[in-house]
Structure 1
Amino acid sequence: MICADCGAPLSAELDSFAALELPRKLAIELPALERVYHELSRKIHPDRFASSAAAIRDASLRGTALLTRSYRTLRDPVARGLYWLELRGEKLAENNKRVSPDLAEMVFDVQEQIAELRGESPASDSFWAAATQLIEKRTNIQELMDASRAELERNFAVWDEGKPDRGSMLTLELKAILSKIAYLRTLLRDVDSALESIRAA
C-alpha cells in the first residue's frame, strides 16, 4: 500500500490480511493488529498528502478506507472467520444447512415463549411470568453466545496449524461454530425485540 522509495500511498487491490501486512491466519493478536493499523493509517492519512497530485490523494483516501474496513473485519473474531471462509470461496450457508438438535430445540422454545408473551395482555399475571422466563432465557442465550465466541477463538490457532489433508474438515468445523453464533445472534435480536415491546407496554 505504500511506496518503499517515496512513502506515498499506492493504489492497490489487497485483501484485508495483506492490507494490514498480516498472514492469512485466523489467530490474530489484537494489540499487534491495532498497532499495525494505527501505524499504517498515520503513514497514508489524507492530511499528509493534501497538496500532492490527485492520483496520490485518491490513493490515500482509498487506502485509508481499505485499512479501516480491514481493521474492523479482522478485529472481530466472527467477522474474521466469515471473511477467511470468503477468501477460500466458501459461504456459511453452503453444506451447512443442519442445526444441532439442542440449538434447534432452544430456538423453537424461545420463539414459542415470544409468541406466548405477545399473546398475553400486559395487565395479566401470566404476561409478567412469561416476561420473566424470557429474561432468564436471554441470559442463557448470552452465556451460550459468549462460550461459543470463546470456543471460536480457542480453535483459531488449532485450525491455523491444521494439516492440508484436513482442510475441508477444518472448514466444516469453522462453518459449524459460525453458524451456531449466527443462530444465537438472531435469537438474541428476537428476544431483545420482544423485551423492548414489554418496556413499551
Structure 2
Amino acid sequence: MIKMFCLNKVALVLVASFVVFVLTAFPAFAQVNSYGNSLKDSVEKVAPAPSDINRENLQNTVREAVKEQKGVWLQKTAEVRSQVMEKLRFRGGAVILRYKAVISRYETLISRIEKRVELEKAQGRDTSAVEASLSKVKADVDKIKPSVDLAVFRLEAINENSSAEEIHAVVKEVKDILKAEKENLVTLKQSIRKLIADVHALSLENKAVNGISN
C-alpha cells in the first residue's frame, strides 16, 4: 500500500513538472512559471505514508494541496493572459493605425491628382495614359484596405480565453498580412510618385504649347 502511494506521489510530481515545462516553453507566460513551481513544491512536501497513517487521509491532503495551488495558478494565469492581450491589442493597433494613416495620405494625393488630370483634360490635353495609371493606383489602394481591415478583425478576435496556440497563430497571421501590405504600400508610393511626375510633365507640355501658340 505504501509503495502504491509513493508511486502515486511520483506521478503527481511528474505531472507538476510537466506543467512547469509547458509554462516555461511559452515566453509570453513566463511569469506563471513560479506558480507551477509552487504546485510542484506543495506536492513534494507531502512525506511518504508511514505504516501507521491512514492512506486515504494522506491522499486527501495531497488533493487539497493540489486543488489550492491549482486555484492560485489559474487566477494568476488569467491575470497574465489579460495583460498579454492588452499589450497585443495596443501594439498591434498602433501599427495598424500607422498603416491606415499612410493609406489615407495616399488617397488624399490620388484625389488631388485626379482633379489635376480633369483640369488638363478640360484644356484639351491627351490624358489617357495618365488616367490609366491613375485607375491602377486607385485599384491598388482598394486591394490593400480590406487586408488591413482583416488584420484588425483577427487581432480583436483573440481574448483571455484564447489558447496560446490560437494567440500565436493570430499574431503570425497579422504579421504576415502587414508585412505583405508594407511591400504593397512601398510599390504604391513609387507608382504615385511616377503618376505625379507624369501629370507635372503633362502640365509643362501644356504650358509650352500655349506659349508657342501665343
Using the size of structure 1 for normalisation, the TM-score is 0.35
Greater relative CO (CA pairs within 8 A, separation 6+): 1
Q: Name the structure where helix makes up a greater proportion of residues.
A: 2
Using the size of structure 2 for normalisation, the TM-score is 0.33
Larger radius of gyration: 2
